[in-house]
């Protein structure tokens, strides 16, 4: 079992995989992470990353990049993660994966795992200005049609700290963010960060008067710091910020950052998403 399994939180149980041999791993999609017609993309990313990590099986080689293409929304139930080690060099291992449900391909993934390479280090990017976490309140659960909150929203505690409120329908920049952690305390590792990269309210919602479907087509996460982060406790929040600058031909991009509370950039993300008319 992967060293990334750090406890028995719901997140760990619902992303757990069992080795089947020949690079194949069995898991289950749990409806507690549903957001619309299927599970949240960050949850799927965490399941996929766990399988890729188990396939690499080298604690010295940590995830550096993860790219997932979402082909079809999973249904509740059993899934199989098939992995292939494409190449292992002196420093970098490349691994690919397919998430399957029966004969349906749900997701295709490619990831690079690597050892730490000493050399030039600098960071010109700085942590964005945000309302301090102790001056914020948890975001109320957004209601779906019929009056129920999406189950996935119950898995996190989120506190708005950056950008205009959603559904104001104005012309403000599509920039949103705030503080996020799991509802159950858990160390912030690569799986957590992969989930956080697609767990926030879409940045485009600041320009919409009401919710609309924005399914992810592909998501890339670049991990930029050692994880778990040394100074963070299991109940600490991360600060996330997401922005969209172009909407064209029915698609948008969303760029994201995940920060530790002490100002260390943990990950960059970028996704392409489809804009489905209401």
pLDDT in tens, 6-38: 458 999 999 999 999 999 999 999 999 999 789
pTM: 0.93
**Among 218, 184, 178, CA closest to 199:** 178
| DSSP bridge partners of 93 | 88, 113
Collect the ranges in the chain with pLDDT lower than 70: 1-7, 141-148, 170-171, 278
Q: What is the pLDDT of residue 142?
A: 59
Q: What is the pLDDT of residue 5?
A: 42
| Sign (positive or negative) of CA dihedral 216, 220, 225, 228 | positive
Q: What is the pLDDT of residue 167?
A: 79
């Amino acid at each position: 079992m992967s060293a990334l399994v750090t406890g028995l939180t719901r997140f760990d149980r619902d992303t757990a995989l069992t080795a089947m041999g020949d690079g194949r791993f069995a898991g289950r999609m749990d409806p507690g992470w549903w957001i619309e017609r299927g599970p949240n993309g960050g949850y799927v990313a965490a399941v996929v990353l766990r399988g890729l990590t188990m396939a690499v099986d080298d604690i010295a080689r940590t995830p550096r990049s993860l790219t997932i293409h979402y082909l079809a929304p999973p249904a509740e139930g059993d899934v199989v993660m098939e992995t292939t080690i494409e190449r292992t060099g002196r420093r970098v291992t490349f691994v690919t994966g397919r998430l399957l449900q029966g004969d349906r391909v749900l997701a295709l993934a490619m990831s690079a795992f690597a050892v730490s390479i000493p050399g030039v280090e600098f960071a010109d990017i700085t942590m964005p200005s945000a309302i301090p976490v102790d001056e914020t309140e948890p975001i109320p659960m957004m209601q779906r049609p019929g009056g129920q909150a999406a189950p996935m929203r119950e898995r996190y505690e989120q506190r708005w700290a950056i950008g205009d409120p959603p559904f104001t329908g104005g012309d403000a920049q599509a920039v949103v963010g705030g503080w996020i952690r799991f509802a159950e305390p858990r160390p912030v590792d690569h799986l957590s960060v992969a989930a956080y990269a697609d767990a926030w309210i879409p940045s485009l919602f600041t320009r919409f008067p009401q919710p609309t479907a924005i399914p992810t087509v592909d998501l890339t996460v670049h991990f930029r710091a050692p994880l778990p982060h040394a100074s963070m406790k299991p109940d600490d929040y991360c600060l996330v910020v997401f922005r969209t600058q172009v909407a064209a031909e029915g698609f948008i991009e969303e760029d994201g950052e995940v920060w530790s509370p002490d100002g260390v950039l943990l990950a960059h993300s970028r996704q392409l998403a489809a804009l489905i008319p209401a």
